[in-house]
């Protein structure tokens, strides 16, 4: 089967109604904005360009590459779409992709589609384009490295928010779902990073005019700030959430809201941010930052290697 | 560098006043600076069938895209007396039915019906008239029973026919075809030629298919390097082997 | 691969096939909404919802078990919900000591786990039935009528149209890659993982450029046919009295299911 469901396309039933509707609202607001923004910058070309680009992302997701033992790396494409098309067009493109995956192939549910679009289209666009915007005019190696980090982090961010949504819906235990999802996606994200970097490098060489054309309208630093802010949040939350102390009793206290998944999800949040001040939390944040720097270093090396070969 | 022949213009009338297509001294350069068209003169009478031949990069497609203003306005072109300027675009795009080489680029809607309806719909016609025109156009290309089919499910020959129907539905005065027989197997090609022969409409077709030219187009225009190097009766030009060879062509009997 | 792997529509002449696409979309979404709203462990009402689904299956002429056979796509995701079994609420059912951690399944946790699975299983079947009985272009029109932004529905229509063509193109690229990857015996196949990912990236870049250029040609074809930036659509669908009847009956049934689910 070509479109094997990835752990990021949440099916119906796994998120509760409050979370589903909340993310539908967020997504609709962002998509509405994206429609009017792309209409301004692209004009008449908006429809054919976005439509074919959505089909392109869909087809590109098919180009999986063998990793090992019969498994294959999957490509999400949210960061790439935002980098090559600009953030708003990227959002619109991914919205169409996720919508068709859910509607036509049942890869992702309908009631939870708002959340799926948010996770795989909006968040990935913000991180992907935001970080790219920050390094766009830097030397090639740094630029490609930055793109790699953006792609990797966008996958991690999508996995993180998916886990949080599942947790807030009372479907999964945080201390299980976070390490599982983040662990898997740290690997998947590496494939995403290499493919995104190679694709952008290829386009930069063959048709550099395309990248300039689509990004010239997005010259403001707002996206860079938003992208870096969200990335920082991801880097802070991920280790914090996965390094929960052992013992189900302790978790029981924290996660007392899981009664049929219908308690107000916001009740638990203040509880959860308190340990931020604690010593152990500080150390995990530090660990997260060091880990991210490590990945950045590797990806800059990768970028160097790629540019020297080209 | 091909040898320049004396241009053969035995059909061109000194004045082409009142004719369906008039092009006078059309120049065009792409933003990169490449001069794709250098002083094109071309007149086509109503009901004429003209083939446009020449090597790749001769400027055939560029010329065709100019005829309805896709590459920008041009006062050097008159369609039924109207200059190709933005105010006239809506009328001119209905008058000039442009059929692209790859039907997959031309048929961009999911179903056959929607695609054929696209032109009439964007001409602002009434719903009733749209349905009538779609029916008519599909009947003209003998594809009526495919109205609800998905475009992707059609064969290449069927796609070409539907692509022609999409512009026929706009009731054009002149049909402009880019490589109509490209990508067709011999049988589909034969049937397309027979079908085109039944259409009572002015036709301009760019093609490399010299047998198609001989079968369907009494008049032939040879382009090379952005210029018209020959314009005359197909039978005469086809007999001129050195002319054909000089522009990278060969006669159908070769 | 065959073309029709993409075509989820199963042609038919049944009552469900002839139902207006809008009515089907509204009923399907209400059904999924209703499942999400039902409390955990309301097995009776879950069964009622299942009956509704079976009836729809039967009326579609595709057979009672049609959607059942295709409903396991969401199964891998069930693993994610597995951790709900160990919810700290409710009475412990057992204590599993794994050495590094102790797992305690509880009754509330098990109830939650199975409720999530059933909701998901019912919902995905309804979505399958919707696309199996409604041609995708009609589905897009229905969304348009239901006030989805037209720009978005048109982009989706384009995606649907070119999805096939671009995946074909992607497949040709893959085939070209395979035919050039010699598999010499005794050698490691296909280069390093890094190299494979990079080659894939180059293919993605190539596909992007081809797609971009294609979108430009399509844009020209649209301009040639009178497109001037403003999209128009025909409104070929009319809700008949019968469509309204089915819609109202279905929604009433779902309301009844909700009522029963909550008085338990």
Structural domain span for residue A120: 17-309
pLDDT, tens digit, for every residue of B178-216? 999 988 999 989 999 998 998 889 999 999 999 999 999
pLDDT at position B183 is 86
Q: Is C237 on the interface with B (CB under 8 A)?
A: no
Instruction: Identify which of C224, C23, C53, C26 has the alpha carbon closest to the alpha carbon of residue C122.
Output: C53
Distance from CA of C5 to the nearest CA of B (A): 13
Q: What band does C53 get if pLDDT is binned at 50, 70 and 90?
A: very high
Q: Is A65 on the interface with C (CB under 8 A)?
A: yes
Residue of A nearest to C118 (CA): A13
**Higher-pLDDT residue of C92, B192:** B192
Kindly tell me if the per-residue pLDDT of A250 is higher than 80.
no
Put simply, the chain C residues between 66 and 85 with a CB less than 8 A from any chain A CB are 70, 73-74, 76-77, 80-81, 83-84
Q: Give the separation between CA C205 and CA A147, rounded to whole angstroms.
A: 14
Q: What band does C73 get if pLDDT is binned at 50, 70 and 90?
A: low
Q: What band does C177 get if pLDDT is binned at 50, 70 and 90?
A: confident
- Residues from chain B contacting residue C2 (CB–CB below 8 Å): none
Q: Do C226 and B93 touch (CB under 8 A)?
A: yes
Beta bridge partners of B224: B227
Q: Do A2 and C1 touch (CB under 8 A)?
A: yes
pLDDT, tens digit, for every residue of C58-71? 999 888 888 887 78
Put simply, the chain A residues between 118 and 157 with a CB less than 8 A from any chain C CB are none
Q: Where are the domains of chain C?
A: 3-135+236-263, 150-224
Q: Do A96 and C76 touch (CB under 8 A)?
A: no
Distance from CA of C264 to the nearest CA of A (A): 15
Mutation choice for A interface testing from C21, C87, C115, C159 by most A CBs within 10 A? C159
Strongest mean pLDDT among A271-285, B147-161, C83-97: B147-161
**Higher-pLDDT residue of A248, C236:** C236
Within-domain flag for A153: yes
pLDDT, tens digit, for every residue of A142-183? 899 999 999 999 999 999 999 889 888 888 877 777 877 887
- Residues from chain C contacting residue B151 (CB–CB below 8 Å): 161
Partner chains of B (3+ C-beta pairs under 8 Å): C
pLDDT, tens digit, for every residue of B133-179? 999 999 999 999 998 888 888 999 999 999 999 999 999 999 999 99
CA distances from B128 to A121, B186, C144, C235 (A): 41, 38, 21, 12
Q: Give the separation between CA A280 and CA A283, rounded to whole angstroms.
A: 5
Residue of A nearest to C190 (CA): A66
Closest CB to C169: pick one of A59, A99, A262.
A59
Under 8 Å CB-to-CB from C214, ≥6 apart: which residues? A52, B105, C162
Crossing angle for the helix pair A123-135 and A222-242, to the nearest 10 degrees? 120
pLDDT, tens digit, for every residue of B90-121? 899 999 999 999 999 989 888 899 899 999 98
Partner chains of C (3+ C-beta pairs under 8 Å): A, B
Q: What band does A2 get if pLDDT is binned at 50, 70 and 90?
A: very low
Tokens of A49: 């360009």
Q: What is the mean pLDDT of residues B65-72?
A: 90
Kindly tell me if the per-residue pLDDT of A290 is higher than 70.
no
Residue of A nearest to C31 (CA): A111
Q: What is the mean pLDDT of residues A113-134?
A: 93
Element (H, E) at B246: helix B241-246
Q: Do C218 and B108 touch (CB under 8 A)?
A: yes
pLDDT, tens digit, for every residue of A55-80? 999 888 877 665 544 445 568 899 99
Q: Do C137 and B152 touch (CB under 8 A)?
A: no
Instruction: Identify which of A203, A1, A164 has the alpha carbon closest to the alpha carbon of residue A85.
Output: A203
Within-domain flag for A265: yes
Under 8 Å CB-to-CB from C91, ≥6 apart: which residues? C106, C107, C108
Q: Give the separation between CA A39 and CA C36, rounded to whole angstroms.
A: 36
Strongest mean pLDDT among A272-281, C28-37, C95-104, C237-246: C28-37
pLDDT at position A64 is 64
Q: Give the separation between CA B97 and CA B167, rounded to whole angstroms.
A: 5
pLDDT at position B213 is 93
Kindly tell me if the per-residue pLDDT of C247 is higher than 90.
yes
Q: What is the mean pLDDT of residues C186-209?
A: 74
Q: If phi over 0 gives left and psi between -120 and 50 gives alpha, with beta otherwise, what is residue C63?
A: left
- Residues from chain C contacting residue A303 (CB–CB below 8 Å): none
pLDDT at position A218 is 54
Q: Are the C-beta atoms of A150 and A308 separated by less than 8 Å?
A: no
Residue of A nearest to C214 (CA): A52
**Higher-pLDDT residue of A267, C166:** C166
Mutation choice for C interface testing from A65, A86, A246, A268 by most C CBs within 10 A? A65
Instruction: Identify which of B143, B137, B165, B162 has the alpha carbon closest to the alpha carbon of residue B151.
Output: B162
Q: Give the separation between CA B151 and CA B122, rounded to whole angstroms.
A: 20
CATH code (residue A204): 1.10.1760.20
Rounded mean pLDDT of chain B? 87
pLDDT at position A249 is 32
Within-domain flag for A10: no
Within-domain flag for A161: yes
CB pairs under 8 A between A and C: 302
Q: What band does C246 get if pLDDT is binned at 50, 70 and 90?
A: very high
Q: Give the separation between CA B29 and CA B31, rounded to whole angstroms.
A: 7
Domain count, chain A: 1
Closest CB to C226: pick one of B119, B127, B148.
B119
Kindly tell me if the per-residue pLDDT of C97 is higher than 80.
no
Q: What band does C132 get if pLDDT is binned at 50, 70 and 90?
A: very high
Q: Give the separation between CA A223 and CA A219, rounded to whole angstroms.
A: 9
Q: Do A39 and C151 touch (CB under 8 A)?
A: yes
Kindly tell me if the per-residue pLDDT of C110 is higher than 60.
yes
Closest CB to C207: pick one of A56, A96, A172.
A56
Q: What band does B234 get if pLDDT is binned at 50, 70 and 90?
A: very high
Mutation choice for C interface testing from B90, B105, B175 by most C CBs within 10 A? B105
Closest CB to B110: pick one of C137, C214, C222.
C137
């Amino acid at each position: 089967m070509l479109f094997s469901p990835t752990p990021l396309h949440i099916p119906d039933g796994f998120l509760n109604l409050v979370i589903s509707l909340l993310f539908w609202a967020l997504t609709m607001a962002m998509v509405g904005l994206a429609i009017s923004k792309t209409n301004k910058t692209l004009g008449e070309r908006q429809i054919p360009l976005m439509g074919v680009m959505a089909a392109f992302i869909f087809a590109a997701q098919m180009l999986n590459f063998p990793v090992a033992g019969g498994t294959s790396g999957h490509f999400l494409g949210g960061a790439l779409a935002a980098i090559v098309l600009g953030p708003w067009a990227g959002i619109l493109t991914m919205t169409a992709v996720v919508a068709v995956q859910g509607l036509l192939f049942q890869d992702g549910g309908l009631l939870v589609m708002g959340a799926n679009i948010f996770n795989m289209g909006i968040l990935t666009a913000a991180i992907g384009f935001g970080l790219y915007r920050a390094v766009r005019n830097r030397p090639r190696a740094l630029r490609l490295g930055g793109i790699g980090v953006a792609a990797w982090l966008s996958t991690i961010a999508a996995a993180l928010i998916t886990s949080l949504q599942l947790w807030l819906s009372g479907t999964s235990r945080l201390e299980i779902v976070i390490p599982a999802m983040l662990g898997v996606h740290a690997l998947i994200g590496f494939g995403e990073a290499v493919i995104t970097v190679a694709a952008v490098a290829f386009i930069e060489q063959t048709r550099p005019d395309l990248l300039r054309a689509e990004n010239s309208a997005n010259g403001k630093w707002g996206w860079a700030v938003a992208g870096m802010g969200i990335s920082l949040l991801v880097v802070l939350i991920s280790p914090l959430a996965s390094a929960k102390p052992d013992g189900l009793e302790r978790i029981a206290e924290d996660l007392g809201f899981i009664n049929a998944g219908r308690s107000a999800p916001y009740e638990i949040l203040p509880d959860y941010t308190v340990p931020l001040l604690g010593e152990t939390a500080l150390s995990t944040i530090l660990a997260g930052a060091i880990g991210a720097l490590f990945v950045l270093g590797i990806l800059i090396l990768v970028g160097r290697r790629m540019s020297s070969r080209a | 560098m091909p040898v320049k022949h004396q241009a053969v213009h035995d059909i061109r009338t000194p004045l082409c006043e009142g004719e369906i297509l008039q092009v006078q001294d059309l120049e065009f350069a792409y933003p990169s600076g490449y001069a794709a068209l250098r002083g094109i003169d071309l007149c086509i009478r109503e009901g004429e069938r003209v083939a446009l031949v020449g090597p790749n990069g001769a400027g055939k497609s560029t010329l065709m895209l100019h005829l309805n203003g896709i590459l920008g306005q041009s006062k050097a072109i008159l369609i039924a007396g109207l200059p190709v300027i933005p105010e006239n675009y809506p009328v001119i795009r209905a008058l000039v039915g442009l059929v692209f080489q790859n039907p997959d680029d031309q048929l961009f809607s999911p179903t056959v019906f929607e695609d054929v309806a696209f032109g009439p719909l964007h001409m602002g016609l009434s719903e009733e008239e749209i349905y009538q025109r779609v029916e008519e156009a599909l009947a003209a290309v003998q594809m009526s029973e495919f109205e609800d089919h998905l475009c992707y499910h059609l064969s290449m020959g069927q796609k070409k026919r539907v692509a022609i129907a999409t512009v026929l539905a706009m009731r054009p005065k002149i049909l402009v075809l880019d490589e109509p027989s490209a990508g067709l197997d011999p049988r589909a090609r034969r049937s397309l030629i027979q079908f085109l022969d039944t259409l009572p409409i002015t036709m301009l077709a760019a093609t490399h298919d010299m047998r198609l030219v001989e079968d369907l187009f009494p008049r032939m225009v040879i382009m090379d390097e952005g210029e018209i190097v020959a314009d005359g009766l197909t039978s005469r030009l086809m007999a001129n082997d050195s002319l054909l060879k000089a522009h990278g062509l060969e006669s159908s009997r070769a | 691969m065959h073309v029709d792997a993409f075509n989820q529509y199963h042609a038919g002449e049944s009552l469900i096939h002839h139902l207006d696409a809008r009515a089907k979309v509204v009923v399907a979404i209400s059904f999924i909404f209703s499942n999400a709203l039902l409390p955990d462990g309301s097995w009776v009402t879950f069964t009622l919802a299942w009956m509704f689904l079976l009836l729809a299956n039967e009326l579609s002429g595709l057979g009672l078990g049609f959607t059942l056979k295709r409903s396991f796509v969401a199964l891998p995701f069930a693993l994610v919900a597995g951790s709900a079994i160990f919810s700290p609420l409710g009475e412990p059912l057992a204590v599993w000591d794994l050495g590094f951690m102790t797992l305690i399944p509880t009754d509330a946790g098990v109830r939650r786990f199975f409720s999530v699975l059933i909701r998901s299983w019912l919902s995905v079947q309804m979505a399958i039935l919707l696309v199996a009985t409604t041609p995708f272009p009609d589905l897009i029109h229905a969304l348009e009528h239901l006030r989805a932004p037209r720009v978005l529905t048109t982009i989706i229509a384009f995606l649907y149209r070119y999805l096939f063509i671009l995946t074909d193109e992607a497949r040709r690229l893959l085939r070209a890659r395979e035919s050039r990857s010699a598999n010499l015996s005794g050698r490691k196949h296909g280069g390093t993982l890094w190299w494979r990912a990079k080659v894939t990236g180059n293919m993605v870049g190539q596909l992007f450029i081809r797609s971009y250029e294609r979108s430009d040609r399509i844009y020209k074809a649209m301009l040639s046919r009178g497109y001037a930036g403003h999209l128009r659509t025909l409104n070929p669908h009319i809700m008949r009295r019968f469509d309204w009847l089915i819609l109202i009956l279905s929604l009433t049934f779902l309301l009844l299911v909700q009522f029963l689910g909550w008085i338990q």
